Amino acid sequence: MSTRVHEFDWPDRVVVGTIGLPGARTFYLQVRAGTQVVSIALEKQQSALLAEKIDEILDQLMTVEGNPFSVPAGTPLELVDNDQLEAVQEQFRTGAMSLGWDPATAQVIIEARPIADAEADDDEPLTGDGTGEHEMLLVRMPVGTARAFAKRTREIVGAGRPTCPLCGYPIDPDGHTCTLPES
pLDDT per residue rounded down to tens, the chain (183 residues): 688 999 999 999 999 999 998 888 999 999 999 999 999 999 999 999 999 999 999 999 999 999 999 999 999 999 999 999 999 999 999 999 999 999 999 999 999 999 975 454 444 444 444 455 689 999 999 999 999 999 999 999 988 777 788 887 777 777 778 876 665
Q: Please report, as a single letter, which amino acid is at residue 146.
A: A
Residue 1 confidence (pLDDT)? 65
CB 113 within 8 A of CB 94: yes
E-strand spans in the chain?
3-9, 13-19, 26-33, 36-42, 90-102, 107-114, 134-142
CA distances from 45 to 18, 19, 49, 135 (A): 13, 16, 6, 22
Output the pLDDT for position 126.
43
Beta strands 3-9 and 13-19, pairing class: unpaired
Secondary structure tally for the chain: helices H, strands E: 3, 7
Q: What is the pLDDT of residue 133?
A: 64
Q: Measure the CA–CA gap between 147 and 81, rounded to whole angstroms.
A: 11
What is the per-residue pLDDT for 23?
Answer: 82
Question: Which strand ranges, in their side-by-side order, compose the sheet holding 107-114?
Answer: 3-9, 134-142, 107-114, 90-102, 36-42, 26-33, 13-19
- pLDDT recorded at residue 161: 76
- In 3D, which of 174, 149, 162 has the Cα closest to residue 42? 149
Give this prediction's pTM.
0.82
pLDDT at res. 47: 96
DSSP summary character for residue 73: S
